[in-house]
Amino acid sequence: MPDGILGNPGNLVEPDQVHKACYTDDDIFEQELDKIFHKSWIYIGHETQVPKVGDYWTTWVGRERMILCRGEDGVHVLYNRCPHRGAMLCQGLNGNAGKTFRCPYHAWTYNLDGSLFRIPVEEGYDGTAFDAKDPRFSMKPAEQMGIYRGFVFAKLSEGGPDLDTWLGRGARAAFDDICNRSPEGEVEIVQNCFRMTQHSNWKIFLENQLDALHPSITHHSTGEAAAEMQKVYKQRTGEDPPIGYQFLADFTLPYEKWDSLSTYGHPYGHTVLGGYMGLRPRDPITVSHEEALTKAYGAERMDEILSTNVHHVLVYPCLSVQPPLQQLRAVRPLAADKTLTEIWHFRLKGAPEGIYERSLAYYYHVNSPSTMVNADDLQNFNACHEGLRLGGGGDWVSFHRNAGQDPVENGVTTSVTGMSEQPMRNMFAAWKEYMSAGS
Ligand code: FES
Ligand SMILES: [Fe+2]
């Protein structure tokens, strides 16, 4: 292990390799929560997750539990903590609080913006330092909250760039692309989501999202089975199989095809993987979607919107968005070796139902408990974490593929090949910057 690693974790990251402690060391993990997850904008949820006044969802930001809720005046993000004796106020995942949050322990009650509403037998505080107007006796709001096109983010520290600036052109594209595909320019979240606990480090998951080399290896068997089913379907019915099979059959694409894609590394670790799926077949559903968008925006803009073929946008460190497939995965690190991911999907407001069904097919084919796609990925994540944890065989992880070859222009790195490990290097460059701050 390099000298003084905990004092300066930046030493763990070199331009083309990183030390295994980044993934397995508990102290490093605690520093990540403080220096990355409490210092950057973290995705909380979508405005439509809480459509009615009193609706709430709980979630995780770093080591904190937070509440996303809707009051009369809009959406709030609050710490899930009662200022009386510290009890977690909302103990379930979601619900409707009515007009107030009421602590189950001693019934201190709060308005939906977190301000204190009422305390039982308040006279007991007469003559004490208690002051109902003092914010420390109200539920604390997140230090900062921002909303971009309905996607709610919070930051648990003051200062730094605002949400728009922090997202930048690279990450904003994720939300623009998904919303623009709606004839109303808005999406609506579908409740509920798949939740998965992985017994591996959060970065292993993120790295995999933009890893264009692994699909035709890890998912080859799934791709072959889907391609076979396409033939059987056609033989039996005489019709073209549903597009869902194609989503999986794409996993058999040759290396050359994956290498022909591009990835783009943006500031703050945000990274984009260009699309490879043909999502504009001439089927009646796609045609009716085109018609709806043409009616809303005109033919030229419709073509521009549907030609945006982005496969993944990684909003570092918390989110992986697939705009054309209307889904996102939110990353909630729980320990160095334990990561929760929430996988949500969306409807495009005003788009034909068939477009939603297409995204639902992908959502199930890739994420459901019965798919082999996720299972095969998880097996690799576990294997990586176990190998790194033991680590007698070596201390470093390699990101040498095309290292030093990807051109940079105006702060954006474009990979020379689709399989370049540029996305991982870009994320670790951001990791190093966050983790070195103040040291
Ligand atoms: S801990 Fe919440 S009212 Fe006492
Ligand atoms: Fe995968």
Dump the DSSP string for 61-98: ETTEEEEEEEETTEEEEEES--TTT---S--SSEEE-T
Nearest CA to ligand 1 atom 4: 106
- Separation of CA 294 and ligand 2 centre (Å): 35
Q: Report which of 356, 338, 354 is spatially closest to residue 346, judged by C-alpha positions.
A: 356
Domains, the chain, ordered by start? 42-148 (2.102.10.10), 173-436 (3.90.380.10)
Q: What pLDDT, in 10s, does the model give residues 349-372?
A: 999 999 999 999 999 999 998 889
**C-alpha angle with apex 310: 309 to 312, nearest 5 degrees?**
155
Q: What is the mean pLDDT of each run of 10 residues along the chain (439 residues)?
A: 65 96 96 97 98 98 97 98 98 96 98 98 97 97 98 98 97 96 98 95 96 94 94 93 87 88 95 77 88 97 90 95 95 98 97 94 91 94 96 92 96 94 97 88
- Separation of CA 219 and ligand 2 centre (Å): 7
Position 279 scores a pLDDT of 66
Query: Among all ligands shown, which has an atom nearest to the Cα of 137?
Result: 1
- Separation of CA 192 and ligand 2 centre (Å): 22
For a substitution probing ligand 1, which of 108, 109, 136 has the most ligand atoms within 8 Å of its CB? 108
Position 141 scores a pLDDT of 98
Lining ligand 1 with CB less than 6 A are 82, 84-85, 87, 103, 105-106, 108
Neighbours of 411 (CB within 10 A): 11
How buried is residue 34: exposed, middle or buried, by Cβ count under 10 Å (0-12/13-18/19+)? middle
Neighbours of ion ligand 2 (CB under 5 A): 377
Query: Among all ligands shown, which has an atom nearest to the Cα of 102?
Result: 1
**CA-85 nearest atom, ligand 1:** 1
Nearest CA to ligand 1 atom 3: 106
In degrees rounded to 5, what are phi and psi of residue 150?
95, -10
Q: How many Å separate Cα 11 from the centre of its chain?
A: 27
- Separation of CA 370 and ligand 1 centre (Å): 42
In degrees rounded to 5, what are phi and psi of residue 198?
-105, 135
- Separation of CA 84 and ligand 1 centre (Å): 5
Share in percent of the chain as helix, strand, coil (round to 5): 40, 25, 35
Whether this prediction's pTM lies above 0.85 is answered by yes
Q: In 3-state terms, what secondary structure has residue 402?
A: coil
> 391 vs 1, 68, 110, 383, 395, CA distance in Å?
11, 40, 50, 12, 6
